[in-house]
Amino acid sequence: IIRQCAPPRRIDPRHRLRFASMSIEEQMLESQSGKDMQGHRYAKSFFNKRKVYGNRLTLATVRLSTGRTHQIRVHAKQLKCAVVGDNLYAPTLRLPQVFAPDVRLALESVGRQLLHARRLGIVHPVDGRRLAFEAPLPNEFRSVLELLERYNSAGD
């Protein structure tokens, strides 16, 4: 399942450190009403659900068409699928009782966002060369996924 989000982004009026997103429909209403759209920047992400653990946590891949600050985190929150360990956009982690104590402890004490850029590509701003970078999944992230595997709802 691929989910497409294409909202412009703006500063969250309720929290100065967070960005907010707005749907295409909201953007059209604001521009038609004559509101100032300055500060809004277009951002587009494609989410692909890979696995679901305990009917609560989803492992997803995300392909970006733009590269905005907090883009994945903002769009994930808009989809009601905030990133585990993201204290800015998802300050509380509610885990169902189906997870064993060792899994719950691992998730609650991860100490970082469970968000990883496996592959990044950019065009060099000066000479136009295409650059690509890859990084393996960090051990702490891999350990959490191994613990969650027993709760794989899709049977993958």
Angle at which helices 101-108 and 139-148 cross, to 10°: 150
- Whether the CB-CB separation of 6 and 44 falls below 8 Å is answered with yes
Average pLDDT, the chain: 78
Distances (CA, A) of 103 to 6, 77, 91: 34, 23, 19
Instruction: Please state, in angstroms and rounded to a whole number, the distance separating the CA atoms of residues 29 and 36.
Output: 12
Say what percent of the chain tops pLDDT 70: 72
For the four alpha carbons of 21, 86, 94 and 98, in that order, the dihedral sign comes to positive
Instruction: Please state, in angstroms and rounded to a whole number, the distance separating the CA atoms of residues 99 and 88.
Output: 24
pLDDT of residue 110: 85
- pLDDT tens profile 129-144: 999 999 999 998 999 9
pLDDT of residue 29: 52
Q: Where is pLDDT greater, at 8 or 88? A: 88
- pLDDT tens profile 12-69: 555 544 555 555 555 545 555 555 555 567 778 888 999 999 888 899 999 988 888 7
Neighbouring-strand partners of residue 46? 4, 63
Instruction: Please state, in angstroms and rounded to a whole number, the distance separating the CA atoms of residues 75 and 78.
Output: 5
